[in-house]
Amino acid sequence: MEPGQPREAREPGPGPETASAVRWEEAKTFYDNLTPKKKPKSPKPQNAVTIAVSSRALFRMEEEQRIYTEQGVEEYVRYQLEHENEPFSPGPAFPFVKALEAVNKRLRELYPDSEDVFDIVLMTNNHAQVGVRLINSINHYDLFIERFCMTGGNSPICYLKAYHTNLYLSADAEKVREAIDEGIAAATIFSPSKDVAVSQSQLRVAFDGDAVLFSDESERIVKAHGLDRFFEHEKAHENKPLAQGPLKGFLEALGRLQKKFYSKGLRLECPIRTYLVTARSAASSGARALKTLRSWGLETDEALFLAGAPKGPLLEKIRPHIFFDDQMFHVAGAQEMGTIAAHVPYGVAQTPRRAAPAKQAPAAQ
C-alpha cells in the first residue's frame, strides 16, 4: 500500500455481492433462531412404550381444582380460558416425563428408524376448551407430547387400551383403581414434601416387589398367618415363581429398551436404571423374589432388601424419578425424604372401597 493513498483505497469495504451475502447469513441466523426446533415423528402406539399421564399429574393445578370443586365446571372453564397464556407449573410427573424424553433422544441417536421409544399421551377428562392452555404449557417447557385425549368430563379409562398404554399415572386415585381393574399398570402419583434434584441424563425407576412387580400372594400369608409362617412359606416355595403383579409389564418394557443400549456396548452408560426396593429380608425371602425375576427373563440393576426398615432414607440416596409401592405408609415415607412416589392400589393391603355418592361430579384431572 503506497503512502498517501486515499483512505478509501487503503481500506476497501466489501463489495455489493459480499455485503449482500453477509446480510443474508445474518437474516438466516435470525430466522433460524425463531423457527421452532424440528421434533421427531410420533411412533405408532403399538410399537412404542406408551405412558399416559393426566394433566394434574404433569402440572400443578391446585388452584384450578379448587375452583372446579367449589364453583363448578363453568367457572373452571372460564378461569382456564382467561389464563390460557399462563403456563402451568410442573407437577409430580414432570421430572419423570423429562427423563423419558432424555432416553428417547439417546435411542433416536442410536436407532434413527426405530419406533421402540417412549410415547407420552396426555390423558385427561378436561374439556377440549382447556386444551389450549395445556398445549401452551407443553410448548413452553418444550415437551414432546403430540397425543392428547380430552374426554370432557367422562372417564378416560376406556381409551387407555386403545392407546396401547403401558403405564398410566394420575392424581385421581379412583381413576387409577379403574385402570388397575382393567388390567392396566397404573399408579396415583404424589408430590414430594421437599424438592430434591434428580438426574437429567438417566431415568431411574424404583419398584416395590410384592403387589407391585409380583402378586400379593406373600402379603396375604403375612396378613393371615404372621411373619414366621411367611418365612416358612417362602423357603418352601423358593423355586416356584411368584405370579405377576400390575407393574411387571412396565419393568419388562424398560428392560427391552435397556437391552437396546446393551447391544451397543453401553451397559455401564445406559440411561435407564431400575431398582427393587423391598421390605423382604434377603436371607429368608429374598431368593424367591430374585428367582422370580430371573424366570421372567427380567432383572433390576439394583436390589435392596430392607428387612422391614424404612424405605425413605435409601430412596433419598437413589433419587429415582418415580417410586412405586402398594402401601401408603411407604409412599408417605418416601415423600417426606423428597422422593416422587406413586401408589399402586392392588392387593390385600388396600383399604376397602367406600361406596361413592349417588351424584358426584368427576374431578378434573
Whether 125 contacts 153, CB under 8 Å: yes
Whether 320 contacts 342, CB under 8 Å: no
Task: Report residue 189 as a C-alpha cell.
Answer: 402419583
Closest CA relative to residue 204, chosen from 270, 143, 266, 268: 270
Residue reference for cell 374426554: 151
What is 29-82 written as a DSSP string?
HHHHHHSPPPPPPPPPGGGSEEEEE-HHHHEE-HHHHHHHHHH-HHHHHHHHHH
Report the C-alpha gap between 192 and 351 in whole angstroms.
Answer: 23
Task: Report residue 80 as a C-alpha cell.
Answer: 382456564
Report the C-alpha gap between 358 and 338 in whole angstroms.
Answer: 38
Report the C-alpha gap between 181 and 198 in whole angstroms.
Answer: 32
Whether 134 contacts 148, CB under 8 Å: yes
> Which residues belong to the active site?
208
Residue reference for cell 365446571: 73
DSSP3 helix / strand / coil % (the chain, rounded to 5): 45, 15, 40
Across the chain, where does the E strand assignment appear? 49-53, 59-60, 89-90, 118-124, 147-150, 165-170, 186-190, 203-207, 272-278, 302-305, 322-325, 341-343
- Long-range pairs for 160-163 at CB < 8 Å and ≥24 separation? 160/52, 160/123, 160/184, 163/45, 163/50, 163/52, 163/121, 163/123
Task: Report residue 167 as a C-alpha cell.
Answer: 403405564
